[in-house]
Amino acid sequence: MTIDELAAVLRVHQGPFFHGTHSRCGCRRIVLTADEWARHVAEEQRAAVVKARTITTVEQLDALPMRSIVRCARGFAWAKHSPNPRLPSAVWYDAGCEDGQYPGEVPLPATVLYNPEADQ
């Protein structure tokens, strides 16, 4: 998830703003205390990160950069590599297994554990 995407979450959930008898988050949710508001914003950020890291389609797998690592629906880690730079398609390697698999063989949904372009 990029800094801009996280900033977009914070932009929606600014505050808390006091309205006479109660306070509201920027999303209009009523919050009783500053701690409740901070927890609400933290939960919204975590949900956005989880959503951004969830892969449900082969097309999303294909869009990840080389050297990305995902955890598949069965709990195994897979790394994206290109065994032959001249070949257009990438191959996913199951950790501990030397045989590469094509994206359609990675059990979905998967969770992105490492994206070399976003996680630095």
- Please report, as ranges, the residues that interact with Zn ion according to CB under 5 A: 13, 25, 27, 29
Which of 5/62 has CB closer to Zn ion? 5
Cα–Cα nearest to 113, from 41, 49, 56: 49
How far apart are CB 41 and Zn ion at their closest, in Å? 6
Cα angle for residues 44, 68, 100 (degrees, 5° grid) = 135
Which of 29/71 has CB closer to Zn ion? 29
Which of 24/67 has CB closer to Zn ion? 24
User: How would you label 72-86 residue by residue, b for 16+ Cβ within 10 Å and e otherwise?
Assistant: beeeebbbbeeeeee
How far apart are CB 34 and Zn ion at their closest, in Å? 13
Which of 25/106 has CB closer to Zn ion? 25
How far apart are CB 101 and Zn ion at their closest, in Å? 41
How far apart are CB 48 and Zn ion at their closest, in Å? 12
What 3-state DSSP class applies to 8? helix
Instruction: Give yes or no for a contact between 64 and 80, defined as CB atoms under 8 angstroms apart.
Output: yes
